[in-house]
Structure 1
Amino acid sequence: MRKKTVRRKSVGKKKKVSAFYRNFKIFSMVLVFTLVLMAILYHYRNGLAYYFSFKTDKVLKEKAESKRLSDIRNHQVLGSLNGKSVGIDVSEYQGAIDWEELKMIENDYPIHFVFIRATVGCDRLDKKYKENWEAAKEKKLIRGAYHYYRPDENSIEQANLFIKTVRLQKGDLPPVVDLERMPDNQSMEQLRLGLRRWLKRVEAHYKVRPIIYTGEKYYADFLKKEFSEYLFWIANYNFYRENIEEDWLFWQFTEKASVTGITGNVDVNIFNGDLQQLQFITVD
């Protein structure tokens, strides 16, 4: 009986091939990760250079404010303004502002305008409104007043409180309604109806169309279509967003900026145009 010839499998060769591909795959993944990391570091090079450099703070001389990762994005966005006008918004939460020192954002970018909270709901005045409103005028900053809208309160009473409190002058920005909260005791349709009543009442008084401030998601989901005739001031602090959308009038891109003359965090806003264009939209 003839014996069958048994061929031995080349085990070692296969192991060598498998090990080669496994090592090549690991090497490729590390290379891709390294290239992506290098691209990110290069993209944020200006912000990183600022973050890792010595940060001076004219306001807090005795106790310097620690650096934050948000500083990287702040400088990244501000560094790509391309001539756009930049400003801040303030309320009683900023406390006592040293208006003489109020000049620069992150020590490098001049402040052109300031939005000041005037009223809240049906019955509350911002404790620092009058002081801040007059100081901004003396500082020769372009100023604007805004109302914090409470969805579950009477919209006409809220509008009347704002009108009673705010006296716009030539060179001031149009009035602003700040809508952030979702309603508790009414539908979105009722909220839209109340908001429109506020807008119409205020527009009839000042003879200028108000601006609506809100978050990007609120804007996209509930307001963009129904209030397309109005201009919007949008809040979006996401790290990935670095440019203002074409249909936004203002963009509040951070709530954690350092401003000379103010202790603590400050909101910073970019106008979708230069200083001359900003002056063009002010009240006649």
Structure 2
Amino acid sequence: MRKKTARRKTTVVRKPYRKASSFSTRILRFLAICFFLLLVFGLVYHYRDGLAYYFSFKSDKVLEGTTEEKRISDVRNYQVLEKKEGKAVGLDVSEYQGKINWDDVDSLENKYPIHFVFIRATVGSDRLDKRFKENWLGVKKNKFLRGAYHYYRPNENSLEQAELFIKTVSLQKGDLPPVLDIEKLPKNQSIERLKIGLRRWLNAVEAHYKVKPIIYTGESYYEDFLKEEFNDYLFWIANYNFYREKMEEDWLFWQFTEKATVPGIKGNIDVNIYNGDLQQLRYITVE
């Protein structure tokens, strides 16, 4: 006789209803989209004048001619220049710009006159900029205020670097003070030894030209390594961030972009603003 097999009842486990959770997700997604759209709208509104200029929407700013004549490096550049109207504006150049036609160099965006140009003269302890001499003479011929800068190599002898700069650059009355460009950290020495080297270069150059040099560097480098111990010097600060639209009071110059275009120069160029007008800029030149 067969035994009856007892069947077990299968218990069905139902998942909890997630309607509330799904609703919360949709709300969060909706809020995120709204926030993004508000952010985009805010940026467009903030840069409205620059965007209008860029796309030539404003009738009084329509630029005629080729694409090159209409090109605006970026909207932020226009925004910065508009806010700094009245300040002295200038460039800095090196051999990387190739041969420059200084007769054509005039203004930015056909609106902002160029007042000064810094020219790279030397690099480290043994290298001359290949186009320093022709740029040095070309800037003078075009009647811009001119200045020379040295690109400092942290791992090379500081006094030899100063000597090379002094042999290469002959400053005249009306020229801007010499500039020390420091951007790199040392590989085989401490930060303290680097600072000693920088101070030696600055002292040697000041003793020769009888004028205090200017220090060029990035904003982070300035804040982290130079601001406190070199507070007896004036600084030229580089910061290209889109949210930075004004210069600090303790900056002498602000390099706010590396992506501008100027007639007579091929490719992109650095643009700088002096923390004052042209007349005030003349006060700091070599006497």
Tell me which interval the TM-score lies in, with the shorter structure as reference length: 0.7 to 0.9
Secondary structure at the aligned position of 1:107 is classed as coil
| 2:77 aligned with 1:74 | yes
Aligned residue among 151, 154, 159 for 2:154? 151
Secondary structure at the aligned position of 1:79 is classed as helix
Aligned residue among 65, 83, 88 for 1:85? 88
Give, in whole Å, the separation in 1 of the partners of 2:71 and 2:106. 20
Give the percent of matched residue pairs that are identical in Structure 1 and Structure 2: 66
* CA-CA distance at 1:243 after TM superposition: 0.5
Q: CA RMSD in A?
A: 2.5
Match of 1:119 in 2: 122
Secondary structure at the aligned position of 1:50 is classed as helix
Kindly provide the amino acid, as one letter, of the partner of residue 116 in structure 1.
I
After superposition, residues 103-182 of structure 1 pair within 5 angstroms as 103-182=106-185
Given that 1:178 and 1:214 are in contact with CA atoms closer than 8 Å, whether structure 2 keeps it comes out as yes
Give, in whole Å, the separation in 1 of the partners of 2:151 and 2:31. 53
Give, in whole Å, the separation in 2 of the partners of 1:92 and 1:18. 62
Match of 2:258 in 1: 255
Kindly provide the amino acid, as one letter, of the partner of residue 261 in structure 2.
S
Residues 57/154 of structure 1: CA separation in 2 closer, same or farther (3 Å cut)? farther
Give, in whole Å, the separation in 2 of the partners of 1:57 and 1:214. 38
Structure 1, unpaired ranges of 5+: 1-14
Residues 152/30 of structure 1: CA separation in 2 closer, same or farther (3 Å cut)? closer
Give, in whole Å, the separation in 1 of the partners of 2:123 and 2:117. 18
Give, in whole Å, the separation in 2 of the partners of 1:86 and 1:252. 10
Residues 25/234 of structure 1: CA separation in 2 closer, same or farther (3 Å cut)? same
Larger Rg: 2
Residues 36/210 of structure 1: CA separation in 2 closer, same or farther (3 Å cut)? same
For normalisation by structure 1, the TM-score amounts to 0.86
> Which whole-Å deviations, capped at 9, do the CAs of 1:12-65 have from their partners, x for residues lacking one?
xxx7x999988776665554443332221111012212332398698xx6x849
Give, in whole Å, the separation in 1 of the partners of 2:23 and 2:163. 76
Match of 1:235 in 2: 238
Secondary structure at the aligned position of 1:209 is classed as coil
For normalisation by structure 2, the TM-score amounts to 0.85
Residues 141/65 of structure 1: CA separation in 2 closer, same or farther (3 Å cut)? closer
| 2:234 aligned with 1:219 | no
Match of 1:98 in 2: 101
Residues 22/166 of structure 1: CA separation in 2 closer, same or farther (3 Å cut)? closer
Secondary structure at the aligned position of 2:254 is classed as strand
Secondary structure at the aligned position of 1:157 is classed as helix
Give, in whole Å, the separation in 2 of the partners of 1:57 and 1:262. 20
Secondary structure at the aligned position of 2:281 is classed as helix
* Structure 1, 33-42 or 106-115: larger mean CA deviation: 33-42
Give, in whole Å, the separation in 1 of the partners of 2:107 and 2:83. 16
